[in-house]
Structure 1
């Protein structure tokens, strides 16, 4: 007979010594071997084995998920329990399926079905990947198998019945060792006749935690635990009369005020903008947005109180804007009193240091209302500059109105509202111009509005903002030279640059002058600068970007100095001085343009000689004020530039395009400056070619920085989302290895410095801008954008981390939820993907592509009913959508 004593002894030793890590060896006595080995057709046991493995994975994940759950926060425990319940009930379904599969095998002819049953038992008894405690997951299945075998009277069935019975006895011994821990974890679920385990449980759990993490299990089931309020907080960073109006402030002094908040989304974005400019502000809060006051006068704060607390923690001032935003001039008695006093109670509950400032809704007060203000020791604050952002839907119009009013008043209090997205767009336009014109912003010091010079000046050093009215570009690419070697990549580089400027950075197509091949004569190029730009109505707050891809050359002057040239299509090599366009000529053109910032990017041989005199400061102090004239070249004066980049681009232009796609945002603030481009391109290009880009300022520059503002990505990942080729990914990997790592959550340190040649070949150390404050919403968007970039490079693990970070910051971020789901889909985790697509639809049911993604995920997961439902919904919403044909094809298969 089989030696069960030896089996149990081995199990006990394994449990006591290494917590069940040793495999369960199934002993067998020769006397009980069947007369002939039962065989089964290849693969007959595989469906049952797959069900066993699925059960085991869920069983292990439940243990990891719920172990030590007393240490979890309440909301974390609730999520873990919910996902654990899902896993548990999934296992019930797996168990039912497995029992049906085994019943079919038992009913089959002995040499087929029983042979497959033998394979299943071999796995349970002796698979090297199983721990002793794992086998408890199979106890009920073995019990059902034993009963099924008992109904079959054949000799092979009797032998297998006996073998299963001995296995169950061995499981009972394991169960005794782990009883307490298993009971703690599984007792919260519906009982299925199992009570379980013990001895060195901690060792077994440690092994499981190497296989699974609680965070990943939750994520697989559509749950990302958001950051706690404390963690989010850590991530973020004068008239004397009774009524303050603003006309008593010093000249060129302004007070910024924002009414009607706190708003759960927009207030933080406005705060982040103000922090970038170092501008103080007063936020007049509506009481019911903060919470409620009970009958006994006790304040009960709501969710938005967190936003208000953060404002105060970051140095901003909170004021009272009534409880319900009623027109107080029409209220009297207790109702009027409650509008004022209740909000004051809530503000004191937010922070006892709230400012004693009040603003009447609609500016409408009354003598009785002012008496209540006096009784509450509150001062009324009005305004003399109204943005009308509550009425005007156009950000540029709002900005123009404010700037005209400021120009007329010369000082005062500006009224904005922090409940409109258009205010977020208008505010930087206003602040850019005001800073450029020398206005300063006053803050409340507890008694009056005064200037805080330290706050304004220090933060201004870190201010990065475009603030451009219009954007212009001249883009030149020449392949088909008559008297110079033909090039292969220049025109394609120029076309790609034009597309990037218009599609990603908002350059109007009619403001981009593309000049290629035969058009790129000396006359044609110079005419584009003098005629197209000179007579196009360019203004002082505009920017100009110039890109050149073609031949470059140098000529030694009689003084011994080398002079660089770009080579037009019609240039004669023997007449370079007359046919070429000297770098000094480009400098003169740059100085003559009225635009605030001009940036030349030259992808040509010998393009390093762009500067013959002058110097500039790469750090931003007051970018809106300073003129900027900058040049970035593909290589030094003695270097040939490299062809052969991916997609038919030069190495330099490919790297430049990748930088403008987001990689050049070294401090992760949503802006890419010319300095950051140089800091990214110089080491990256040098690492994969024999050229070193050079960078510097041209004559006439006053330290201003050309700035690209990254647009928020809004793409919901789907089957049509483009990814890079293998060649492009391979080169990007090499380029990224040459720079410090940048992640969505941890931008490169502002102290990181890069040595880049200047335009005369001298070494120059440049650093990226310090990181400035940004709202949680902005941080989440950047994490999502980083994830999209990583997806395109097929870095799925890194993309998953980025989208997860976005959801930790913003649990309601439907875009990131879909994109995380698609990362799972690309890794063939179809059920996990489906859960996230369902979450996307729950968050934003209007996202049609999520239904298509969901249908395809369920189709891949084998659930044809759910797939069909999602696909039909997609076709109802988008019968002629881009994925309609694919959806119908999938429906035909389901």
Structure 2
């Protein structure tokens, strides 16, 4: 069961008022009663120093928020000073986090029986500390992630239970971040105001509370800053020749030119993730490295490189520029003499040890420099690089807020150097949305060629594997299913088809339920369907980076016009067959609606028969994701052509067409294996597959007005641990899927399908997006799940094996491979892989249940009892608790 911190939006404000600003927002279930032991209780470990560091960490985090709130209302001087002090607080916190990591590591290494109770008390504070807001808990996210990794090294039962608790807390922190993401978008968002304001009580209550305990002026004063009274603005000085050459700010770059820079790394995880995202957009970047993250120098000045240097080497090999950000991230404006020179030259020596052709770029920590520092740079033949666009990712805990801030500032500046930090997960999350928007708006990314910033040429740098995000802001759907017509023949499967598609969109692809507009039977009148488009979507709700998916299951009709052209219609619930022209909805109106929607991409899927709408195709190209972000897409896939009957005989109460569509969206439509399903891939799987098992010829194409953009589904990573409760497909579903797969397009192959005029058109899937070994492993695991559910055990075994070859510590694939053996009654082999799974992820309760079953089937009842017991320790109230107790009675 996932541990959750309790919070509401309006409720926090009420709690704040009732408690005078002190909030109780987190709870957790009480731990089980301790089991009496003969030995005396171990003495409690002193965690007061660790607790004090955690409270200091929180205090600095809160001060950063107070400093950076209301940034739009600050003068330039106030903003600069607030950011400088805020960054100093941030870097002090980075040192606190490192200290906390060391302290917790010592606690865990002490082997004292009380060490887990001591860690538990620290978790009690994070989970339910008095006066903590949910936003406060985000301050401890990095500490918790490190704790999880450290606890995983201990295989004792208390450590396993602690691992489970920390995992659940991290899940809850991710949920808190998602909750604030919606609210911070309203605070920092770039979107136009809407008729219904988003609720912000929670964030505003939090900030209001912080301002009762901290004031910006006091924080600045504590760090040596007193802001003078505002003076009258002086006339702007004429531009000084050579200023940009002496120190680069980015303001003289060509219009719509951006330089991406990342400070404070290298980070052993996030730096390379950021580099991989950049590759998807062919975006160069500069990584300003802190020297101590790369290595050290001994008394003789000899460099000693560490693991961070290997990260830097890989960044260099991938085509990125390495640059100097001082040795210790000290405020160099307060340094002088040998200390100042060492901060600059020691890192320069380390960078040369990593890359003899290191760049001559330098960035002062906090942007704080003095005359002596500038002279030291000149003597070292280094150039100062500043910035004019600050992401504030060091201060802001929410990725969408970071993205919104950057994009608003870019809109204002029109060009420049963006300051990011490659030591945060939130930067990794924010980056795709930023790059998508900038790419779509025609910005170019400039890199350093050794002399100046220049935009990328035609030759792209060597690819680094990573699948990029699809870049949509919100996802909308209109889903219509009509069985019970007033005046048309009744249907059996249309409503179930609509329900199945709606569930797929919400459960698999993360469409918000409130943005999936479902109309069934009497709701799906002509007025109701058109109102869903015009009232709910077209009039102000859709945004330029949104997508809209439309599914219709019901009757379709075709009418011959006097010109001889066929015109297709969708038939609403209340249409009269004798009044088709006035009661039904012509495809020309659907086309007009598609063109009027301000969304980036729209896909219409019609489980009915049509003709009479000419379609055009836009060719795919290798730079798919980058170009797709620029182009509008309006696509349609239909179940069949003129006068063809839709086959309603599919499995699970679906039509053949919708069943095939659902299989494609379940993963079979990813023809090139990159984790993305485009509209073209969907059609390339569905059209020939449906034609092979029915009398239907599905049609596909782009609606007039489309610019060749593709609707894109991004497949989520499956996390299901196979077990006895996992459902498999029925025999008739497996039989149909076997026929469908036999006609499916092979990766990168092209297929010929019909357009809506009955002509042939060739579909070719876009070039696959390069992915990392980790992502390849996930895709192999996900494919294995599909094969397992179709009882293709040999093929499933091969996929899970491939996943483990690509990612040796992949506990999910290890468990799933074990369960394939278990299903084939190979119990000894199954037990070995379940054992591997629990070694890789010791807190995964379901793997212990599987392990117990494998031992039991193999006849080793003693081991089975131990595995069932561990399952109950980890999940005493889990769905399998009753079964585990029954099994223990048999051992």
Residue 681 in 1 paired to residue 686 in 2?
Answer: yes
Query: 2 CA distance for matches of 1:799 and 1:341?
Result: 55
SS in 1 for 2:780: helix
Residue 893 in 1 paired to residue 890 in 2?
Answer: yes
Instruction: Give the Å deviation of 1:417.
Output: 2.2
Identify if the C-alpha distance between structure 1 residues 267 and 722 changes in structure 2 by more than 3 Å, giving closer, same or farther. farther
Q: Is the 8 A contact 1:279 1:441 kept in 2?
A: yes
Residue 855 in 1 paired to residue 852 in 2?
Answer: yes
Selected match of 1:642 from 611, 634, 647: 647
Instruction: Give the Å deviation of 1:654.
Output: 1.1
Structure 1 equivalent of residue 183 of structure 2: none
SS in 2 for 1:483: coil
SS in 1 for 2:557: strand
Query: 2 CA distance for matches of 1:696 and 1:682?
Result: 12
SS in 2 for 1:275: helix
Instruction: Give the Å deviation of 1:520.
Output: 1.6
Selected match of 2:824 from 816, 823, 827: 827
Selected match of 2:707 from 702, 708, 718: 702
Structure 2 equivalent of residue 884 of structure 1: 881
Structure 2 equivalent of residue 422 of structure 1: 426
Identify if the C-alpha distance between structure 1 residues 833 and 811 changes in structure 2 by more than 3 Å, giving closer, same or farther. same
Q: Is the 8 A contact 1:598 1:628 kept in 2?
A: yes
Q: Is the 8 A contact 2:620 2:765 kept in 1?
A: no
RMSD across aligned positions (CA): 2.8
Query: 2 CA distance for matches of 1:276 and 1:625?
Result: 14
Q: Is the 8 A contact 2:291 2:327 kept in 1?
A: yes
Q: Deviations over 1:306-325 (max 9, x none)?
A: 44333222222122334444
Query: 1 CA distance for matches of 2:329 and 2:307?
Result: 19
Identify if the C-alpha distance between structure 1 residues 266 and 817 changes in structure 2 by more than 3 Å, giving closer, same or farther. farther
SS in 2 for 1:833: helix
| 1:665-676 correspondence runs (5 A) | 665-676=670-681
Structure 1 equivalent of residue 276 of structure 2: 272
Query: 1 CA distance for matches of 2:370 and 2:829?
Result: 60
Residue 584 in 1 paired to residue 579 in 2?
Answer: no
Query: 2 CA distance for matches of 1:800 and 1:290?
Result: 42
Structure 2 equivalent of residue 807 of structure 1: 804
Selected match of 1:837 from 834, 837, 843: 834
Selected match of 2:542 from 523, 527, 538: 538
Structure 2 equivalent of residue 745 of structure 1: none
Identify if the C-alpha distance between structure 1 residues 613 and 818 changes in structure 2 by more than 3 Å, giving closer, same or farther. closer
Q: Deviations over 1:359-388 (max 9, x none)?
A: 333334455554554444332322221212
Selected match of 1:515 from 511, 519, 524: 519
TM-score by length of 2: 0.68
Structure 2 equivalent of residue 723 of structure 1: 728
SS in 2 for 1:784: helix
Instruction: Give the Å deviation of 1:329.
Output: 4.7
Q: Deviations over 1:832-852 (max 9, x none)?
A: 333333333333333232232
| 1:152-163 correspondence runs (5 A) | none
Query: 2 CA distance for matches of 1:537 and 1:860?
Result: 57
Query: 2 CA distance for matches of 1:239 and 1:660?
Result: 55
Q: Is the 8 A contact 2:476 2:547 kept in 1?
A: yes
Structure 1 equivalent of residue 763 of structure 2: 766
Q: Is the 8 A contact 2:432 2:468 kept in 1?
A: no
Q: Is the 8 A contact 2:319 2:462 kept in 1?
A: no
Query: 2 CA distance for matches of 1:270 and 1:764?
Result: 39
Structure 1 equivalent of residue 458 of structure 2: 454
Q: Is the 8 A contact 1:285 1:321 kept in 2?
A: yes
Identify if the C-alpha distance between structure 1 residues 359 and 783 changes in structure 2 by more than 3 Å, giving closer, same or farther. farther
SS in 2 for 1:846: coil
Structure 1 equivalent of residue 125 of structure 2: none
Structure 2 equivalent of residue 866 of structure 1: 863
Instruction: Give the Å deviation of 1:450.
Output: 0.9
Instruction: Give the Å deviation of 1:718.
Output: 2.5
Structure 2 equivalent of residue 792 of structure 1: 789
Query: 2 CA distance for matches of 1:823 and 1:456?
Result: 43
Selected match of 2:780 from 780, 783, 799: 783
- Show structure 1 runs of 4+ deviating over 6 A: 456-459
Residue 596 in 1 paired to residue 593 in 2?
Answer: no
Query: 2 CA distance for matches of 1:859 and 1:393?
Result: 48
Selected match of 1:362 from 363, 366, 381: 366
Q: Is the 8 A contact 1:464 1:671 kept in 2?
A: no
- The worse-fitting range, judged by mean Cα deviation, of 587-596 and 862-871 is 862-871
Identify if the C-alpha distance between structure 1 residues 369 and 464 changes in structure 2 by more than 3 Å, giving closer, same or farther. closer
Q: Is the 8 A contact 1:278 1:455 kept in 2?
A: no
- The worse-fitting range, judged by mean Cα deviation, of 350-359 and 575-584 is 350-359
Instruction: Give the Å deviation of 1:302.
Output: 4.2
Q: Deviations over 1:656-707 (max 9, x none)?
A: 1111112212222222111111112122222222222111111221222211
Instruction: Give the Å deviation of 1:336.
Output: 5.1
Residue 690 in 1 paired to residue 695 in 2?
Answer: yes
- The worse-fitting range, judged by mean Cα deviation, of 712-721 and 618-627 is 618-627
Q: Is the 8 A contact 2:566 2:611 kept in 1?
A: no
Identify if the C-alpha distance between structure 1 residues 577 and 796 changes in structure 2 by more than 3 Å, giving closer, same or farther. same
Identify if the C-alpha distance between structure 1 residues 387 and 809 changes in structure 2 by more than 3 Å, giving closer, same or farther. farther
SS in 1 for 2:640: coil
- Structure 1, unpaired ranges of 5+: 1-237, 742-747
Query: 2 CA distance for matches of 1:404 and 1:247?
Result: 16
SS in 2 for 1:454: coil
Q: Is the 8 A contact 2:614 2:755 kept in 1?
A: no
Structure 1 equivalent of residue 660 of structure 2: 655
Q: Is the 8 A contact 2:558 2:611 kept in 1?
A: no
Query: 1 CA distance for matches of 2:669 and 2:704?
Result: 25
Identify if the C-alpha distance between structure 1 residues 260 and 600 changes in structure 2 by more than 3 Å, giving closer, same or farther. same
Structure ID, larger Rg: 1
Instruction: Give the Å deviation of 1:780.
Output: 2.9
Identify if the C-alpha distance between structure 1 residues 543 and 553 changes in structure 2 by more than 3 Å, giving closer, same or farther. same
Q: Deviations over 1:59-105 (max 9, x none)?
A: xxxxxxxxxxxxxxxxxxxxxxxxxxxxxxxxxxxxxxxxxxxxxxx
Identify if the C-alpha distance between structure 1 residues 302 and 876 changes in structure 2 by more than 3 Å, giving closer, same or farther. same
| 1:458-537 correspondence runs (5 A) | 466-535=470-539, 537=541
Structure 2 equivalent of residue 243 of structure 1: 247
Q: Is the 8 A contact 2:683 2:700 kept in 1?
A: yes
Question: Number of matched residues?
Answer: 645
Query: 1 CA distance for matches of 2:291 and 2:807?
Result: 25
Query: 1 CA distance for matches of 2:705 and 2:834?
Result: 54
- Structure 2, unpaired ranges of 5+: 1-241
Residue 607 in 1 paired to residue 588 in 2?
Answer: no
